Amino acid sequence: MSPPPTGSPRPVLRASRPHLIYGGLEIGLSIIVAIATWSAWQSPWTTFLWTVLWLPVSHAIGLAAGFVMAAHGDPTPERRTPAATNVAIWAYECAASILLLDLYQPWFSAAPLATPRGPARPVAVLLLHGYGCNRAFWLRFSHHLADAGYHCDAINLAPVFGDIDDYAETIANAARGLAERTRLPVVIVGHSMGGIAARACLRRYPTLPVAHTITLGSPHFGTLHARHGIGLNVRQMSLGSDWLVALASSENDAQRARITSIYTAHDNVVYPVRTSILPGAHNLALDGLGHVSLSTHPRSRALVLETLERVAQGLRGGI
């Protein structure tokens, strides 16, 4: 078993207020739907079904629209798959998104992550969420890391719609704290914007105890989908933005060699797909997965664990 954490105490976890507000809106709209449905049909079962299903159905419709927009915005051969495959990708993405975004994030943003249960590992893992999300995004993923023996931590990047550069200090403090508690070097795993935020943090704090960075579906050179978002951070992730160009220009070959970019050819949020390819980094492509699915699907999870093991072997070998 891995040794107990030592060093500085774990910071106090606080719920994400914007996501609590979002959860309150979910409840409020559900009550409105229930009243409207009962008034129209006066049927307990109809009222129950509409009250329970309106949110996941709305989410599923929105995701379908996102996949259609991505297919039109990035008509590359990799996206040309049979209709049944597209439906399967959409269905898995619906399940992952509804669970993480509509259930976990509003109510579990201050929940503790799983603790290691497997053999001791030579690195710890810091998890960074993407745009509009919070640390609860990683609750399920943390159990897989714990089963493999990894100490891990996850933080909220705030403000939700703020400047990505402003997240750097929070990330740096979390990386230092995790390294001190575990007495291990840190690997950052960032989903979507989280991967960009990790790179921006390391630009400002190049001496952090971070051995490697793994990005999942990160728009390293922007995404057309950014035009549908709000906030400074989403403008920074627009296709070919000056901010992203400056970030890329600040990195050298040695820094890129310590980054692994895992991406999917069927991403419904980051497109064109080539924007997730980072020259000089280890670029690993998957197919048949949506954007949020990169953080839940067994194939993506296996790639993350393989990369962590590769980093661990490099550290053992003094590389």
Average pLDDT per run of 10 along the chain, which is 319 residues long?
Answer: 50 86 96 96 95 96 96 90 95 97 95 88 97 96 95 96 97 97 97 98 97 98 95 97 97 97 97 96 96 96 97 79
Q: Please state whether beta strands 186-191 and 124-128 pair in parallel, antiparallel, or not at all (unpaired).
A: parallel
Cα(110)–Cα(155) distance, integer angstroms: 9
213 within 8 A of 195, measured Cβ to Cβ = yes
270 within 8 A of 276, measured Cβ to Cβ = yes
SS (H, E, C) 117-159: CCCCCCCEEEEECCCCCCHHHHHHHHHHHHHCCCCEEEECCCC
Question: What is the predicted pLDDT for the residue at 318?
Answer: 62
Beta-sheet strand order (sheet of 259-264):
152-155, 124-128, 186-191, 210-216, 259-264, 282-286
151 within 8 A of 179, measured Cβ to Cβ = no
Residue 153 φ then ψ, to 5°: -145, 155
Report the predicted TM-score, pTM, of the whole model to 2 decimal places. 0.94
Cα(114)–Cα(147) distance, integer angstroms: 9
- Percent of the chain as helix, strand, coil, to the nearest 5: 55, 10, 35
Question: What is the predicted pLDDT for the residue at 120?
Answer: 84
Question: What is the predicted pLDDT for the residue at 11?
Answer: 67
Strand pairing partners for 223?
238
User: Which residues have a Cβ under 8 Å from the Cβ of 145 and sit 6 or more positions away?
Assistant: 114, 116, 125, 152
